[in-house]
Amino acid sequence: MDPLHALALALIQGITEFLPISSSAHLILPSKLLGWPDQGLAFDTAVHLGSLTAVIVYFRHELSRLTAAVILHIQTRQPSADSHFALNLMLASLPIIPIGYFTRFIVETELRGVEVIAFTTIVFGIALWVADSMRGDTAKPLTPARSIAIGLAQCLALIPGTSRSGVTITMALLLGQSREHAARISFLIAIPAISGAAVIKLWDLLHTSITPDWFVLGIATGVAGLSAYFCIVILLNIVNKIGYLPFVIYRIGLGSLLLWMIY
């Protein structure tokens, strides 16, 4: 891969991974519209690791607190609000791992077209707008049923254009979460989801004859991680002030432009 293409795609990945606008769609589009070569497994793995590092670093204190609460819960058999929240996050994280593993080849071969991206970008953008309009001002407790619903919604993000953060935020809002709490849930359940994706891609990479350019991959990992970190900061700081409407408008505009281009 050309180093400039790698840098641009890593920046796109970092910016779009945690914003509700679909990182997979934005990574596919340059190859479809500009004729860039597909970034390939090695690059996908590198930028996923960059995004994973960003979310772990940002939420390191919260992750430490939640982990300690779960350990204490196991030792004392006395649940707390933090341990309850952590266990439900784990539950929400489970569905995408087996579904992502068994559907990955279908997604990569059948669902990466511009038409699919255009329709999912618009449809799930409208869904986000509806959910944001129906949101509550205070967060309802995260129950096992709500957690499973969010986890199943996350599986829809395997379809390019859907947006993992977008669809999980949408479901969390529909289930009574506040804007900020919905975003935090989405970010936290991204950790096992992105970890699983990175492991699967690494496994597939090890079973190919690809010889990665480690320098380019290292730069891509760093760029994706830094840009993803700043997007997490920005989204959590502004979401309560402006809501999700700007992202809805962007998605509908992008999807409409893509439909106009292909038709």
For 65-92, what is each residue's pLDDT tens digit? 999 999 999 999 999 999 999 999 999 9
Confidence of residue 135 (pLDDT cuts 50, 70, 90): confident
Local structure of residue 161 (DSSP, 8 states): T
Is residue 38 within 8 Å of 29, Cβ to Cβ? no
Please give the radius of gyration of the chain, using alpha carbons only, rounded to the nearest integer: 18
Residue 40 above 70 pLDDT?
Answer: no
Residue 1 above 70 pLDDT?
Answer: no
Is residue 71 within 8 Å of 241, Cβ to Cβ? no
Higher-confidence residue: 128 or 216? 128
Give CA–CA dist 84/92, Å, rounded: 12
Each domain of the chain, given as residue ranges in start order, spans 45-206+234-262
Quick one: average pLDDT of 137-150?
88
Confidence of residue 39 (pLDDT cuts 50, 70, 90): low
Q: Rounded to whole angstroms, what are the CA distances from 169 to 84, 97, 166, 192?
A: 20, 19, 5, 16
Is residue 24 within 8 Å of 198, Cβ to Cβ? no
Average pLDDT along the chain: 88
Q: To the nearest 5 percent, what fractions of the chain are helix, strand and coil? A: 80, 0, 20
Question: Looking at the chain, how many residues does it have?
Answer: 263
Q: What is the pLDDT of residue 5?
A: 83
Residue 41 above 70 pLDDT?
Answer: no
